[in-house]
Amino acid sequence: MKRPLAALALFLAACAGPVGKDQDRVLHRRLEGEPQTLNALISTSDPENVVIALLQRNLLDYDEKLNLVPGLAESVDADESRLVYTVTLREGVRWEDGTPVTSDDVKATLEALVDPNTPALYRRSFFADLDKVEIVDARRARVTFRKAYAAQRDAFNLPLLPARLYRGTDVATNPANRRPLATGPFRLASWEGGTIRLVRNTQYFGDPPAFEQVVLRVVPESSSAFQGLVTGALDESRLNAVQRVEAAKDASLREVRYDEIAYTYLAWNNRLPQFSDARVRRALTMLIDREAIARSLYGGLARPANGPLPPGLWPYDPTLPPLPHDPAKAATLLDESGWKIGRDGIRTRAGVALSFTLSYGSASDRQRQIIELAQRSFREAGVAMALAPLEWGAFVEKVDAGDYEACSLSLNLDPNPDLRPNWHSSQVPPSGMNHAFYRNPRADALMDELAATFDRDRAKPLYAELQRIIAEDQPFSFLHTVSVAWGVRTRVENVKSSPVGLWLFWPGAAGWQPARAAKPI
């Protein structure tokens, strides 16, 4: 539903704020949905991660080339067995209230992370075999694992919780989740009415950011966000194909592009009878004309995804072909799986209709169009898909709990990918993020073997087999891998990109500068 013009005018007026010299020092950014938490251990959505990236430094950060670099820790070193890691914090690292960050915070964070009562759906699997955390001294912690894993050091791309606020509490409901103590370049000043305001963190150990404030506003609709970008109410926003053409005519805007290590998808709840047969799931994918969507809705900045790993990651298998658009073959697969077209044009099996509801949250115009195109293609093949748009927070909660029939989302992967959080049978809700409830014993065995395979030459054929198994099972309809176009106002400089986007690396958005500032103000 389009935002009424009066409401759009109010949005733009609210965004405008004061003008002049003081406004030059304020960065105005967009959030596509309302964060549910600012606790990085339990965050699961992009809007949350956008804010957290400015508030918290990780023990180790990724740079723009996806190399691990020091963050809160000056080093994280493994012994010869690769079972014991020593975390050494930087000297002088403090929380925003001036108290030091210590090895006790490392211990408390990791203990909270592996606590089954903590809904750390994404991060817990990286520490699944944590044995113990010992304090060596104020700056050093010794972290011991029961098994050695190839990507274990990457797991320390992790922010910390202050032990004094979280130890002995319910992490999920701790008030500090909405009022976190920062270790990064900014701290939280306010969060209300869909607006989050950050100000410089005077206790930050690194160079101060060039902007004094960052104002992040929740603007779910792409059209409203673009109007905010054009008028100057926002300094950045994702662009769709039509907006790219318009932005190119505006001298106050420039385009920043990058290839995401991510893919978009429609998820099928595999434990439901409608989706329990892989033939049905493959048929649903083959009913969607992904090539046509890439041309018409992405302006050519997308291509059909072939499975659970996108291009740009070292184990990606380019020889694995995406499923073709083939409605006739899809109809055959549906027939073979027992779903026959009835008099009303809807397929049924044993008296049950092949119908379901697809949930989505705060969708962009393009996402809505893709969903509607899929709905039309499904209907022509005798598959009834209803649509259920939800407020973003309610949608994320529903997906995390696995309480849906089908949903539309995208998935961002880590530079050193571990597929266990999303695909291992041990990671189904409420324990993990395998919200499709996908189960395949051979896939589980491959993921377990890969976790302990340190030689990439040995790992590549294992990854190739795993990709082919998941692609054949098609627990998701893997839609597209995407080159993302971002509109940025020319008043903002030093905007760099990486395969993980504009801000999920260091310094990311913390390194952006006002155009007239040659150095931090």
DSSP string computed for 237-260: EE--HHHHHHHHT-TTEEEEEEE-
| C-alpha–C-alpha distance, residues 235 and 518, integer Å | 19
Closest CA to 191 of 97, 55, 18, 100: 55
Question: What average pLDDT score do residues 7-27 get?
Answer: 58
Give a yes or no: residue 432 inside a domain.
yes
Task: Based on the fold, state whether residues 435 and 492 are members of the same structural domain.
Answer: no
The verdict on 379 and 453 lying in the same domain is yes
Residue 197 has pLDDT above 80, yes or no: yes
Residue 149 belongs to a domain: yes
Contact 429, 400 (CB under 8 A): yes
Q: What is the structure's pLDDT at 19?
A: 43
342-370 pLDDT, tens digit per residue, is 999 999 999 999 999 999 987 677 889 99
| Whether residue 270 sits in one domain with residue 159 | no
How do residues 284-314 score in pLDDT, each as one tens digit?
A: 999 999 999 999 998 889 999 999 999 988 8
435 shares its domain with 502? no
Bridge partners, 481 (sequence order): 303
The answer to whether residue 7 sits within a structural domain is no
More confident residue, 412 or 473: 473
- Based on the fold, state whether residues 156 and 231 are members of the same structural domain: no
Residue 77 lies inside a defined structural domain of this protein: yes
Quote the domain boundaries for residue 138. Answer: 64-164
Whole-Å CA distances, 281 to 151, 306, 325, 434, 471: 31, 14, 13, 16, 10
In a shared domain, residues 106 and 190: no
Instruction: Kindly state the average pLDDT of the residues 402-406.
Output: 96
| Count of the separate structural domains present in the chain | 3
CATH number of domain containing 70: 3.90.76.10
Cβ 102 vs Cβ 89: under 8 Å: yes
Tell me the residue ranges of DSSP E strands in 42-175.
60-62, 68-70, 73-78, 84-89, 130-137, 140-145
Residue 198 in 3-state DSSP? strand
Rounded to whole angstroms, the Cα distance separating 143 from 52 reads 24
What pLDDT was estimated at residue 417?
85
> Which helix (H) or strand (E) covers residue 236, if one does?
strand 236-238
Q: Give 164-195 pLDDT, tens digit per residue.
A: 999 999 999 999 999 999 999 999 999 998 99
- Say if CB 460 and CB 319 are below 8 A apart: no
Q: Helix (H, G, I), strand (E, B), or coil: what is residue 395?
A: helix
Judge whether residue 393 has pLDDT over 90. no
CA dist., res. 222 & res. 217, Å (int): 13
The amino acid that residue 301 corresponds to is: L
Note if the bond before 441 is cis, omega within 30 degrees. Answer: no
Helix (H) or strand (E) holding 130, with range, is: strand 130-137
Indicate whether 76 and 135 sit together in one domain: yes
141 and 92 co-located in one domain: yes
| 132 sits in which H/E element | strand 130-137
Q: Are residues 138 and 225 in the same domain?
A: no
Quickly state the pLDDT bin for 38 (edges 50, 70, 90).
very high
Strands 253-259 and 60-62: unpaired
**Would residue 166 be called left, alpha or beta, if left means φ above 0 and alpha means ψ between -120 and 50 degrees?**
alpha
For residue 127, the model assigns a pLDDT of 93
Q: Omega before 321 cis (within 30°)?
A: no
Q: Is the pLDDT assigned to residue 8 strictly greater than 70?
A: no
Q: Is position 116 within any domain?
A: yes
Please work out, in degrees rounded to the nearest 5, the angle formed at the alpha carbon of residue 470 by the alpha carbons of 464 and 476.
Answer: 140
Mean pLDDT lowest among 211-225, 354-368, 454-468, 484-498 = 354-368
What b/e readout covers 181-195, taking b as 16+ CB neighbours within 10 angstroms? Answer: bbbbbbbbeebeeee
Q: Which residues contact 298 (CB under 8 A, 6 or more apart)?
A: 241, 366, 480, 482
Identify whether residues 418 and 277 lie together within a single domain: yes
**Residue 21 CB coordination number (10 Å):** 8
pLDDT band per the 50, 70, 90 thresholds, residue 324: very high
Q: List, in sequence order, the alpha helices (H) in 474-508.
A: none
Residue 121: inside a domain, yes or no? yes
The mean predicted confidence, pLDDT, of the chain is 92
User: Residue 22: which pLDDT band, with cuts at 50, 70 and 90?
Assistant: low
Quote the pTM value. Answer: 0.76
The reply to whether 458 falls in a domain is: yes
Q: What average pLDDT does range 250-261 have in this prediction?
A: 94
Q: What share of the chain is helix, strand, coil (3-state, %, to 5)?
A: 30, 25, 45
